Amino acid sequence: MNPNECIDPLAAKAWLEGKSVDLYALSHPLRDEVFARLMEHLEGMILSPQEVLNWRPLSGGQPGAQQLIERFPKAKHHFWQETKRATQAVKASHAPEGWASQLKKAMGLSLQGDFSIASVDAQSPLFKPVDLICSSLALHNEADPSQVINTWSHLLRPQGVVLFSCWGPDTLKELRSLYTQCGWPEPMHPLVDMHNWGDLLVQNGLSDPVMDMEYLTLTYDKTETLVSDLRFLGRNLTPVRRPGLLSRVWKEAWTQALENERLRQGGRIQLSFEVIYGHAFKAQPKKAPSTETQISLEEMRSRLKKKSNP
């Protein structure tokens, strides 16, 4: 599957830089749990990064961004978002007078270390390379993920680490099955398999990729809560989605189909999320081939003798 053909770039930008602004500071148990488990993948690594970059923190959420800051309190923390509005939203949530800082002070917790977070121009040739790039639940919504990974490779120092999470192809498999039964188009754009992500990492200059996945399942006793979670966690970004608003009749049929599925499952409807985790390293630059030629002392003596005895 070519990821570049799966996503409408305008719809992706509208979600990554627009709709998610209002959700950034809110806590969601699944989004926060994925970020916490992503941090666990750092446990086996010996890291003391001086520069940390959170790529599209709006996708991972403010609680997750705070986890990253507290995981490396001595590092300088940066972030990248594409638009001014998104950048301002992240800065406002991490201002010294922000809610997180006030909560810590109220609880008597120490604010040691550099908890500042600054935006960066990731395309600028003056950008200082970083030791760690972290991205949670953004890559599956990128219109050109190969270019994003290439940018990560460019921004990392040699031996730097990129760490990310994203949804895998079995995500919402119950909902996809329901849509198929009802004769409706797919509810979400196609998602990329973890092995393909590993290939993209290598193709774009990163080495020793490590990929793994797990399933997390949410259950609902109310279809309204399920719908609210779907709106919180993402959008259908496929270019072939229906171009206009759906009718009230379709919405009633959709709601009834979800309710029938809930009753069929004994009063609780479930949704599965395949979570992919990956990390890779920036390889040391290859040394240029040596032009130096070495010969033994005996060979040099032999050559000198030949020159003196033509």
Alpha-carbon torsion 104, 96, 70, 57, what sign?
positive
- pTM given for the model: 0.82
Which H or E run includes 272?
strand 269-282
Cross-strand bridge partners of residue 276 = 166, 213
**Domain 3-169+188-215+275-304 indexed as CATH 3.40.718.10:** no
DSSP 183: T
Q: Is pLDDT above 60 for 167?
A: yes
Give per-residue pLDDT as tens, 32-61: 999 999 999 998 888 899 999 999 999 999
Averaged pLDDT, 218-236: 92
Res 120: pLDDT: 65
Task: Compute the distance between CA of residue 283 and CA of residue 154 in angstroms, rounded to an integer.
Answer: 11
Helix axis angle, 84-93 relative to 9-17, nearest 10°? 30
Instruction: Specify the range with the lowest mean pLDDT, choosing from 1-15, 92-106, 273-287.
Output: 92-106
Task: Compute the distance between CA of residue 192 and CA of residue 189 in angstroms, rounded to an integer.
Answer: 10
Res 239: pLDDT: 84
Query: What is the token pair recorded at 203?
Result: 């193709």
Q: Is pLDDT above 60 for 113?
A: no
Give per-residue pLDDT as tens, 254-286: 889 999 999 988 999 999 999 999 999 998 776
Alpha-carbon torsion 171, 193, 159, 120, what sign?
negative
Domain boundaries, the chain: 3-169+188-215+275-304
Q: How confident is the model at residue 14 (pLDDT cuts 50, 70, 90)?
A: very high
8 Å CB contact between 7 and 189: yes
Scanning the chain, the segments in alpha helix (DSSP H) are: 9-17, 29-40, 57-60, 62-71, 84-93, 99-106, 145-155, 173-182, 194-203, 223-233, 248-264, 297-308
Task: Compute the distance between CA of residue 78 and CA of residue 71 in angstroms, rounded to an integer.
Answer: 14
Res 108: pLDDT: 42
